[in-house]
Structure 1
């Protein structure tokens, strides 16, 4: 009850923090105001704070001074290039940018977890490292933070993260052992042909037509090259070609993404896609240039940690409200932390017909769910880091 009572006493603060962050959304690696807010909050709590990690990342260390493991709690800070349409009194004050994926809630939960665990640090050994990461929505802040040494000094033993999840009911917690989210890959293709008059196609190499054939051929990779029992998807989301109705375009530009749960397939995407693009372009007499970003690997929860978190989540919401969420072909760079140490990325149920889903200009959630997230983090910290011995006390 000590944990629950302390969290309940922080409810107004938790909601206020979320709303303050919601009003100042910033895009990836531009989170200057958000980072300053986070750093100031942690410093006022008395944590050791490091700023400027991977440009705009912040790390706060709660060290008990007693030997023990280190738990990493990760929150993402960035927002999306969306114009908010919620009409909320605390809506975005930054035109064209919005917290439409719950990252303001994620950051608020981690900050208030730091407050609660700082007050209850006599109940744990070791340390908690609160990692506030930039650019989850792209191009990715987790990997550069790891490269900057965030997993060291002290060395991290466990990692936890949380995502507000509108696809499971409000009041539930979703935990899936193994693969939860897909590996992602981005490709950009420029096709070069020979432009000319629309009435004389025989004198041209039509980059637009070549591009159309590339799009079709890419779709057939999934239906004819991939194991149908292992879901994958390729989407061309951008196609630009042409300037006039009677001109055969000389260039076409395509941009898209590929997703899979299989890491081996993810690693082979560049080879597979380029082979298809090269074949189509050669058959049409066109040239091409292709670039790609490998993106994020699959998000994989350690089975033992997932089982442990299911038990902890049951203490928070009741065993009957701990659910197994469906896997999603969305990507998450929490994956990089989970590749390094045993960990769990859990889902905080937010399903409510009164709100739109993520990446929507009318996205929202019942702020009471944030208390559930904080309590889950705090109970996990007590469980994973244990209690100090009488001698240490």
Structure 2
């Protein structure tokens, strides 16, 4: 009799959980236009990293109106909301990034940004050219839906609205790294975190994911080559740092091609700038190079950093010069690593939400995301949401970080449903 009662209780709980998911799905459909309106407002009024004051005020006010406990000023302008469910259970964190980019918008949208600002002491535009406006609007929709069923929630939801994902202004701290330092994963302690990123080159209605390393670790680097200055007519009197820098650049290409097993993970070593000298007939004393390193595993990241330092310093030494290498110079994001067990556990949720054929395993990418700082603390799943109009050629769709970046808003509701369902299902099976 006791066994039968237990079975009945489990069956009743499962039926109730399913009815809650059906209710949240209907609520997500009902607020589609509100989510779009939020996104358009954020898009028209973008703010750069660590300066998202207007954005944060709108988010905080709305979360408070839902009865969600709110903390502001986290990592400068971040907003954290805590929704306690009616039943005990795990703490599920959901994250959206808030910052725009110093890009002058070129789209014909009626809500296109006309904002002018400064970035690194230079005049610049401001644009949500990566979709963070969409992420905020979607997470606000999730907050509305989940708060309406909070009595049925088996746990707590922590809504993290994070500034400066694109990196804080030079010389400042910010982003996910600072949020973690300031305790966003504690009080209450987070058990798991989910996040999404809209993609302008993935068709609306699709979700893409990858277990393990899904986005690269990034380190920027500075290499200063110190030589001996001389007249350009007498190069034998010099130790030419420009020639040495050129040799270093060439030799660095062997790090990926000869030191990395590219059948396992891709990686990148790029020198993006080189500056030296001020006259055609003077061999300067030094040359400076800046670049970026990308890797899809912690082991590869360590190896690449070590080899870049070794190649640069030894190449310079062989020419009688000195190379000073700083890695990272100002930026480091870890690998965005989707916990394999968590991904396997939650994949049926994504498939049930978008459809099996619309839930697609994706290749790893060498772009980076500071969502990785949260994943260093707890298991996390970061997935991609389609934002490209149906039937468009992905190769012709404007890419992220460009003036023509465009998102089809009809995909937002799928994002709301996916984050709601991941939360509810994780709480149910935990």
TM range (shorter): over 0.9
Q: Does structure 1 residue 88 correspond to structure 2 residue 122?
A: no
Per-residue CA deviation, residues 208-241 of structure 1 (Å, 9 max, x unaligned), is: 2121111111111111222232322100111112
2:407 aligns with one of 365, 375, 379: 365
* Contact 2:201–2:397, Cα closer than 8 Å, also in 1: no
The alpha carbon displacement at 1:284 in A equals 2.1
Residue 327 of structure 2 aligns to a residue whose secondary structure is: strand
CA distance in 1 between partners of 2:276 and 2:41 (Å)? 43
Residue of structure 2 equivalent to 1:390: none
2:44 aligns with one of 23, 34, 45: 23
Q: Does structure 1 residue 99 correspond to structure 2 residue 128?
A: yes
Per-residue CA deviation, residues 237-262 of structure 1 (Å, 9 max, x unaligned), is: 11112222222222211111111112
Residue 262 of structure 2 aligns to a residue whose secondary structure is: coil
CA distance in 2 between partners of 1:160 and 1:228 (Å)? 29
Describe the shift of the 1:6–1:29 C-alpha distance in structure 2 as closer, same or farther (beyond 3 A): same
Residue of structure 2 equivalent to 1:307: 344
Q: How does 1:30-45 map to 2 (within 5 A)?
A: 30-45=51-66
2:182 aligns with one of 137, 141, 148: 148
* Contact 1:168–1:325, Cα closer than 8 Å, also in 2: no
Per-residue CA deviation, residues 250-282 of structure 1 (Å, 9 max, x unaligned), is: 221111111111211213443322111111221
CA distance in 2 between partners of 1:131 and 1:109 (Å)? 12
Q: How does 1:207-226 map to 2 (within 5 A)?
A: 207-226=241-260
CA distance in 1 between partners of 2:49 and 2:308 (Å)? 28
Q: Does structure 1 residue 116 correspond to structure 2 residue 145?
A: yes
Q: Does structure 1 residue 381 correspond to structure 2 residue 415?
A: no
Q: Does structure 1 residue 70 correspond to structure 2 residue 87?
A: no
Structure 1 residue runs of 5 or longer lacking an equivalent are: 388-393
Residue of structure 2 equivalent to 1:204: 238
CA distance in 1 between partners of 2:200 and 2:344 (Å)? 22
RMSD across aligned C-alpha pairs, in angstroms? 1.8
Describe the shift of the 1:23–1:381 C-alpha distance in structure 2 as closer, same or farther (beyond 3 A): same
Residue 362 of structure 2 aligns to a residue whose secondary structure is: coil
Q: How does 1:249-268 map to 2 (within 5 A)?
A: 249-268=284-303
The alpha carbon displacement at 1:131 in A equals 0.5
* Contact 1:71–1:128, Cα closer than 8 Å, also in 2: yes
Residue of structure 1 equivalent to 2:388: 351
The alpha carbon displacement at 1:337 in A equals 1.5
Structure 2 residue runs of 5 or longer lacking an equivalent are: 1-21, 117-124, 169-173
* Contact 1:68–1:127, Cα closer than 8 Å, also in 2: yes
* Contact 2:230–2:283, Cα closer than 8 Å, also in 1: yes
Q: Which moved more, 1:214-223 or 1:282-291?
A: 282-291
CA distance in 2 between partners of 1:99 and 1:381 (Å)? 27
Residue 126 of structure 2 aligns to a residue whose secondary structure is: coil
